[in-house]
Amino acid sequence: MRECMDSKNLHRRLKKIMGQINAIDKMIDKDIPCEDILMQINAAKSALHKAGQIVLEGHLHHCVRDGIEHGDADKTIDNFAKAIEYFSRM
């Protein structure tokens, strides 16, 4: 699966997200306004959504293409539909 996505880019993004989450955790113990905490939570959520988008795009360009060209096209399409469903729930 690693060949279907830009793993260096994803690792970099996930490390930033972990930093955001740690910062939010520290904000909770300080006298930070709720609105500011919610804004940071939303930023982390958006960053995680973007990481999911990158995985989905890699899946489409590599796994789906390969499955249609060399495998079972119907199963590949079904699996891609499941991936889109998971992504849409984010």
The answer to the question of residue 26 being in a domain is: yes
Rounded Cα–Cα distance for residues 11 and 89 (Å): 22
pLDDT value of position 20 = 97
pLDDT value of position 54 = 93
Q: What is the DSSP string of the chain?
A: -GGGS-HHHHHHHHHHHHHHHHHHHHHHHTT--HHHHHHHHHHHHHHHHHHHHHHHHHIIIIIIHHHHHHS-HHHHHHHHHHHHHHHHT-
CATH of the domain at 84: 1.20.58.1000
Q: Mark the ranges of the chain whose per-residue pLDDT is less than 50.
A: none
pLDDT value of position 21 = 97
- The count of domains in the chain is 1
pLDDT value of position 47 = 97
Instruction: Say what the pTM is.
Output: 0.83
Domain ranges, residue 31: 7-88
pLDDT value of position 76 = 95
The answer to the question of residue 1 being in a domain is: no
- The sign one gets for the Cα dihedral 57, 60, 61, 62 is positive
The answer to the question of residue 67 being in a domain is: yes
